[in-house]
Structure 1
Amino acid sequence: MEAAHAPQSKFDWSRLVFMLTGVALFTLVYFSPAWPDAIDPTGQHFVLSHEAKGALAVFLLAGTWWVFEVVPIGITSLMIGILQVMFLIRPAKSAFKDFMDPSVLFIFASIMIGLVFTKTGLTKRLAYKMLDIVGERTSMIYLGVFVVTAALTHIMAHTAVAATIYPLLLAIYALLAIPFRSYLQPLIVMSAIPYGIVGAVAGHVLMGLPMTILSMFGIVALSGVVVNDSLVMIDYINRAREGGTPLHQAVMEAGVQRFRPILLTTLTTFFGLLPMILEKSVQAQFLIPMAISLGFGVVVATTITLVLIPASYTILEDFTRILGVVQKGQGAPPVGE
């Protein structure tokens, strides 16, 4: 009985009006008599052809439908190509080549494949299975993603792989955010990775060697070392704050207490790889790019980490405090508390 008396949704008359307005504008322009020629200051005449007038008509219809959103934008986009063919504005080959290019449909299909992976939960299952195999070490996670990506490229197009791996990376990021109980702190941890890549590239330039596939493997290992250094510092700050230490004091203590472990990790890594970097034998040339990426990258990234991570953590807390004040409408607490 309740279902019988449920109020029915009202018909959206405004949408119908704007839809018909677009059709009316198209009809008015397309079937109107020939327009006068356009004349420039030099007196030259420009004739508005029937095809040009049809293009203006399609533009008015599509613009009206787009602005007032009477139908989904995808339908309006398809309608542009269909109208050009139906009203002989352009040849079908030219119209469909622009608006229904095979590459566009290929990318669309690839995105659909990625969407299927996400909707069916296959992406999460891949993430859980990969973490179960490689563990929680950052370097092994990067290696796992690299292997999964390489494997998928053998059975799917590269765009489909990209659409699949992106939600996979997001799932892994969410799993890594659980220990921090924050979705922003992992971004701080990963913020040092680009600087490590800059150091790896600079090392290749300094040594006069090109980037190779083994350089990429070195960057994967480098990302693990850099992230571990950042994790050590962020974890110390979090533990200190849980113990009641003010923010600024916790950040300064983390810089002091974790300076020696991070620096020793960097120096031992770099000087351990230095003999391989300077090796002149033919057998070593194959591995030198990987050693350069790891060695030089970790030096640059560590220098940045010791400054960037504490500063980024403090900035993040300041923004969090400001947002909290705006939401609650209370006075801002003193900085560092």
Structure 2
Amino acid sequence: MTVPLLEIANLNVKFRLGAGDLPVSSDVSFTLDKGRVLGLIGESGSGKTITSKAILRLLPAGGEMSADHIRYNGRDIAALPPREFDRLRGADLAMIFQDPVGSFNPVKTVGWHFRKVGRLHPGGHGGIMADAAEALRQVDIADPKTTLGKYPHQLSGGMLQRCLIALVMFSKPSLIVADEPTTNLDNLVERQIIDLFDKLRREVDASFIFITHDMTIAEQVSDSIIVMYAGQIVEQGPTEALMRDPRHPYTQGLVKTARELEGDVEKLTEISGEVGTGAWPENRCRFAPRCPLYDAACDHAIALHHVKEHGEVRCIKANRSEDAI
């Protein structure tokens, strides 16, 4: 039996506040196989980024994570001592943040960053700078040597994002979390970055968790998709099945909007309301305030359940929720 690269069981994240605990992610469970891409999608506030940061122990101050287990290559890394986990993160586990500017020291050249990473994770055969230039070529930077001598402010947002991707790939991690890497880029550059990820997924021996709020992007880059809402997984399954036949009303709304964006409609379908806060009633569907199908029967029946040849859905009306939104 093949061991998944990553296996998460019942991951929970909360923040300690003066008035008590604020849960932001609840009972998140999934697996990711080697060489695959998992799309993690949802609106802002759905918990997708904070869940991924919890896996890599990058929660901000006040954040706390618990899980039944977090297995990487079959080894439970949830209880590793901090120093041991730090050796894993950055070498085997890495993250591409959505703001490339904030990921670079503004007074150091791009080449300085590669030298720093290269000293921490040696292994190249042509010298650090030669290997760095090759890494930049792999992300389609035409003049790597000149780029290595530049400072972050001398590069465009798209160029700097490519440099960040190359820098993360430089240490050859096995698992890479990409947190909305096309945010704040214009449409043309966004398309180029997505094409680059599509290229990397075919050429690089790594697994990706690709965080996005755009179903169209998730469809292109992912082998499977997890849809999160209000800190919970509401639907997950193979990309083709989920995009062809979304079952949860929230997923249907996201897919419908994505299809309309590809078409020629003047007005997009809107999912009314907003994602709520972490103060959710314990036994009530969190999507209830926005769901046209909600009734009392939905409460106390909010567990994920398996749908044959599809995946898992957190909705008891999954088989009759077509075109709900």
Alignment TM-score > 0.5, same fold: no
TM norm structure 2: 0.22
The structure that is helix-richer by fraction is 1
TM norm structure 1: 0.21
Instruction: Select the structure of larger CA radius of gyration.
Output: 1
The structure that is strand-richer by fraction is 2
